[in-house]
Amino acid sequence: MKTAANSLSRRIALRAFTLVELLVVIAIIGVLVALLLPAVQAAREAARRSSCVNNLKQIGLAVHLHHDAIGHVPISISPWPHEARASNTPPEGNTGMGWIVRVLPYMEQQPLFDLFMQFGSSGNMVMDVRRPRSNIGISSTELSGSPGMQSQLPVISCPSDPTALELSPTQWQWRNSEVAVTSYKGVIGDTRMGTDASVHQGSVPDCHNTVGCNGIFYRNNYQEPVSFEQVTDGLSNTYMVGEDIPAHNYHSAAFYSNGDYASCHAPLNFKPQPPNPVQWPNVMSFRSEHPGGAHFAMADASVQFVSESIDYCIYRATSTKAEDDIEGARGCGIQ
């Protein structure tokens, strides 16, 4: 009986792992995990990039549908009455409504569009949203809270950027009031934001608070609505909407005319570390969380991934609609 028990014990002992074998197995598992994790992360980023491309494609098509219906690209209306030329003061008031509101019906967001039209399409926007009143543009009490200015739509948020999926209390003119932000900005051209206040170059004078910008979207384009016939550089050769990171740029309020545009004056993917979003002359530009570049919807509604190593002159030239300079012929010294 004792001999049988000893034999069973030896068989059990032979079937058990030694400490060395256990460590080897753990090491092999660790190596496999280390090899597979980057592949899993890459697959997830590929899926996020595909979703981002789809978002921009939807936005680009929505702009075209608006153009077909109205005759020009969606307009933005500045919140500042003094920026309006005498002959172009909006009869409904300086509502502060941005171009993204105008494309909502073409992205299956008709109820949200109707809400903005009902409560935000008339009156001058109050710049201090801590003292809101009704019927004063998009700062009205009915829009300042959910579901108006706080409607964080997936179609205007890049899934690779967590900051684009959260409400923000830090946006210019919306401090202390949480609003939805957007990853996608209309291209104003290559205007030098803030002129000499910017560390970057660009076309001067800065047009962001006037008119005559060489891109497609800007906060005063309601005074001179842009049609695709004016894009003489070619629709497939002109940036229309590009990516931005709200954490780097406090001009990112989604439905606001001073949060829905950016300039190609800064090199693509300019990202101060740590982020310095209050330095608007430097950071009202384009960037993304995708490795190596950012996506742009071209004026023909196609989507391109633009490398951050693109020639600076060509990058700026591609942002303009009618400069006949798509090959960067003007050079970086142009004014």
Inside any domain, residue 327: no
The tens digit of pLDDT for each residue in 252-287 reads: 999 999 999 999 999 999 999 999 999 999 999 999
For the segment 300-325, the average pLDDT, to the nearest whole number, is 94
pLDDT for the residue 328: 45
Assign 14 a pLDDT band (cuts: 50, 70, 90).
low
Burial of 6 (0-12, 13-18, 19+ CB in 10 A): exposed
Inside any domain, residue 238: yes
Inside any domain, residue 161: yes
Assign 22 a pLDDT band (cuts: 50, 70, 90).
confident
pLDDT for the residue 138: 94
Inside any domain, residue 326: no
pLDDT at 208 over 60: yes
For the segment 236-254, the average pLDDT, to the nearest whole number, is 97
Inside any domain, residue 332: no
pLDDT for the residue 7: 54
SS3 letters across the chain:
CHHHHHHHHHHHHHHCCCHHHHHHHHHHHHHHHHHHHHHHHHHHHHHHHHHHHHHHHHHHHHHHHHHHHHCCCCCCCCCCHHHCCHHHCCCCCCCCECHHHHHHHHHCCHHHHHHHHHHCCCCCCCCCCCCCCCCECECCHHHHCCCCCCCCCHHHCCCCCHHHHCCECCCCCCCCCCECECCEEEECCCECCCHHHCCCCCECCCCCCCCCCCCCCCCCHHHCCCCHHHCCCCHHHCEEEEECCHHHCCCCECCECCCCEECCCCCCCCCCCCCCCCCHHHHCCCCCCCCCEEEEEECCCCEEEEECCCCHHHHHHHCCCCCCCCCCCCCCCCC
Q: How many structural domains does the chain have?
A: 1
pLDDT for the residue 330: 52
Inside any domain, residue 260: yes
Q: When comparing pLDDT for 300 and 4, which is higher?
A: 300
- Domain that includes residue 285, residue range: 2-318
- Most confident region among 2-11, 13-22, 299-308 by mean pLDDT: 299-308
pLDDT for the residue 335: 43
pLDDT at 307 over 90: yes
pLDDT at 5 over 90: no
For the segment 29-55, the average pLDDT, to the nearest whole number, is 75
For the segment 161-189, the average pLDDT, to the nearest whole number, is 94
Inside any domain, residue 166: yes
The tens digit of pLDDT for each residue in 54-102 reads: 999 999 999 999 999 999 999 999 999 889 886 777 878 899 999 999 9
Strands 239-243 and 293-298 turn out to be: antiparallel
Inside any domain, residue 258: yes
